[in-house]
Amino acid sequence: MTTAEITYTRPQLFKGKKINLVPKGSTKAREEAKQSWYIEFFFYDPATRNMERFGFSKNLNRVKDPKEKFILFTELLETYIEALDGGWSPIDERSNDKLKRQIVSLSLEEGKVLFEAYHEAKGARKKSIQYNNLSAHKIRCPNRRLLSLNSDACHR
């Protein structure tokens, strides 16, 4: 029987240093929310053969309300857990790009429909959408080439 190789530790939420003194007119939760919070986990790097530390806060430390901050960081924690369980690697960008393409596969026809629906819902004039103008219907392909909505291939 072979054991599965563990490539990461379970992400955890860290709330900064311990609060020993609470000023008058404040609460422990408010003082805790003023600290820098972050999500931390370790991921195995095959190149160095070591577990590498990763810490993310995604600019959520700007939130000072303790309940809101806890909810946002809990959602971020769950997102990292799901991503790591789904095969996401914070080290290997090529495998991440492949995973993104598998998850977000949008055909050209679906893209056209979504593009037109967005602009119609936004209230844009038909002239602003410019159905016949190729330059107005260009989006980026995953390989960073321009894609015209009137063609089926990526152009350089």
Strand 50-56 and strand 146-148: pairing? unpaired
Gap between the Cα atoms of 47 and 156, Å rounded: 34
The pLDDT, as a whole number, for residue 95 is 64
Taken as a whole, the chain contains a residue count of 156
CA 36 vs CA 24, 52, 58, 78: distances in Å: 21, 21, 11, 19
Question: What backbone phi and psi angles, to 5 degrees, belong to 136?
Answer: -80, -15
Mean pLDDT of each 10-residue bin along the chain, 156 residues long:
71 93 93 94 88 92 94 95 88 69 71 79 73 50 52 48
pLDDT at 3: 44
| Lookup result for tokens 């600290």 | 35
- What 3-state DSSP class applies to 18? coil
Predicted local confidence at residue 39, as pLDDT: 96
